[in-house]
Amino acid sequence: MKLSLGLFQLFSIFSLLCSNPIFAQCLDDQKSSLLSLFGSAPTPSWTPKTDCCLWKGVTCDSSNGYVTGLDLTNCSIRAPINSTSFISLSSLKSLNLSQNLFNSSIPASLGALSNLTHLNLSDSGFTGTIPIEISRIKMLESLDLSRTDPSSPFYLRFGNLDFEYLVGNLSGLRQLHLDGVDISSPVPRSMGDLANLTFLHLSGIDSSFVGRLLCLEVLDLQNNSFHGKIPSSLFTHPSLKHLQLSQNQFDAPLVEFGNASSSLSILDLSDNKLQGLIPSSVFQLMGLDTLWLSSNDFSDTMDFSLLQNLTNLRRLDLSNSGLSINTGGINFSLPQVNTLYLSSCNLKEFPDFLRNMYLDGYGPTHIFHQSEKVVFQACGQDATCVNGMVGRVHDACDFSKTESSWVSACTPPK
């Protein structure tokens, strides 16, 4: 009976063996390349006698056993890389060496990994000039060389023309993360030709090419030294969803723009020196979910009622923006808003609409002190509560302590 395994069953077992990646056998040369990749330094939890396709961080092509992915994020690797080993790992499609401490330059032999689509060397302790060979990896779709820890002594820089070559050669890039990288040269005009780019994170550049990046969804230029005017084209860009320009020195008034984007969902202009009024076009950005305008030098009075068409808005910060907010005569609620900062907005009366606000399906709000802050709180049927902040106590009390309704609003709920 045991002998009567049918042909069909045999076939099933055979195809199971072949299709299940667990059975992908590591090739000897792939294994020895992995083992010598970091010289004689101990390799993270890799046991030489076992199938290397099962090692932590290693992915193989199940049909042929070649190593296609290596993710060694935060593996405490300190040794420099053995370039020879890299060359025999040329089937790699994804390589992540982020959060290590290589303390050496990026090996030029990376350029031999011609099938690589994803390369992540962020915070890896690589230092010095980025090898031009990276611009030969034509298949690259995602490149992350960022340094997110500003205190790290390791930083990368491009040689004179290298950034231009990179942009000129890697036309398939979708994500480019170069924050903290020294791009000594001006941004090349060909930057606008990266037609598939959806994510761009750079520092210290001029953004005039952005209008030509028609697929761009995320533009993060936070914490740089940009000044002057924010190009209006960023607010009318057809695909941009997330525009992060906080912590710069933009200081010119925002101007009205036509054809406001409907895709923009997060707009963060906080911590700048923006002046004047907020143009009404900003309140036509119908897709806005988050609007951060705090810590600026705006002037004049803004009618809160300008917000009434922003029906998707959930998070709003106007604190310390220089604006005086007029909440008088408001006849609408912001049922979807769950985070609201209005500190130092020179409010003259307690915003009535807050009292009846429902947050994310929670009940109506209470308003009370909490240490230095005035907080509003809404609780659901099951007694879970959400909090938001209206202002600092001294701001709030300036405008409202004489009003009996406010005094009661300041009393914490029992």
Contact with ligand NAG (CB under 6 A): which of 165, 292, 298, 350? 165
In one letter, which amino acid is 232?
S
Q: Is 283 in the site for ligand NAG (CB under 6 A)?
A: yes
135 vs 377, beta carbon nearer ligand NAG: 135
Q: How far apart are CA 123 and CA 144, in angstroms?
A: 9
In one letter, which amino acid is 370?
Q
Q: Which residues pair with 128 in a beta bridge?
A: 156
State the pairing for strand pair 128-129/142-144. unpaired
Q: Up-side HSE of residue 44: CA atoms within 13 Å toward CB?
A: 17
Span interacting with ligand NAG, options 7-15, 41-49, 96-104, 382-390, rule CB under 6 A: 96-104
Span interacting with ligand NAG, options 19-27, 303-311, 354-362, 395-403, rule CB under 6 A: 303-311
Q: How much of the chain is helix, strand and coil, in % rounded to 5?
A: 25, 20, 55
Using a 10 angstrom Cβ sphere, with 0-12 exposed, 13-18 middle and 19 or more buried, the burial of residue 121 is buried
Q: How far apart are CA 349 and CA 171, in angstroms?
A: 55
Q: Up-side HSE of residue 248: CA atoms within 13 Å toward CB?
A: 24
Q: How far apart are CA 2 and CA 305, in angstroms?
A: 81
Task: Name the one residue in this structure whose structure tokens are 């309704």.
Answer: 405
State the nearest-atom distance from the C-beta of 82 to ligand NAG, in Å.
Answer: 4
State the nearest-atom distance from the C-beta of 313 to ligand NAG, in Å.
Answer: 13
Site for ligand NAG, residues 393 to 412, rule: CB under 6 A: none
Counting other chains too, the contacts that 323-326 makes at CB distance below 8 Å and 24 or more residues apart are 323/278, 323/293, 323/298, 323/299, 324/300, 325/301, 326/301, 326/302
Q: Is 59 in the site for ligand NAG (CB under 6 A)?
A: no
Q: Is 90 in the site for ligand NAG (CB under 6 A)?
A: yes
Contact with ligand NAG (CB under 6 A): which of 79, 132, 214, 218? 132
Contact with ligand NAG (CB under 6 A): which of 43, 55, 158, 177? 177
Contact with ligand NAG (CB under 6 A): which of 47, 84, 249, 262? 84
Contact with ligand NAG (CB under 6 A): which of 31, 118, 237, 366? 118
- Residue 368 contacts residue 374 (beta carbons within 8 Å): yes
162 vs 395, beta carbon nearer ligand NAG: 162
Q: Is 39 in the site for ligand NAG (CB under 6 A)?
A: yes
309 vs 387, beta carbon nearer ligand NAG: 309
Q: Is 33 in the site for ligand NAG (CB under 6 A)?
A: yes
Reduced to 3 states (helix: H, G, I; strand: E, B; else coil), residue 177 is strand
Q: Is 129 in the site for ligand NAG (CB under 6 A)?
A: no
User: Which pair of tokens denotes residue 328?
Assistant: 């008088």
State the nearest-atom distance from the C-beta of 104 to ligand NAG, in Å.
Answer: 8
Q: How far apart are CA 169 and CA 187, in angstroms?
A: 15
170 vs 367, beta carbon nearer ligand NAG: 170
Q: Is 309 in the site for ligand NAG (CB under 6 A)?
A: yes
Q: Is 321 in the site for ligand NAG (CB under 6 A)?
A: no
List contacts with ligand NAG (CB under 6 A). 33, 36, 39, 66, 71, 73-74, 76, 82, 84-85, 90-91, 94, 96, 98-99, 103, 115, 118, 120, 122, 132, 135-136, 142, 144, 150, 165, 168-169, 171-172, 175, 177, 195-196, 223, 258-259, 283, 306, 308-309, 331
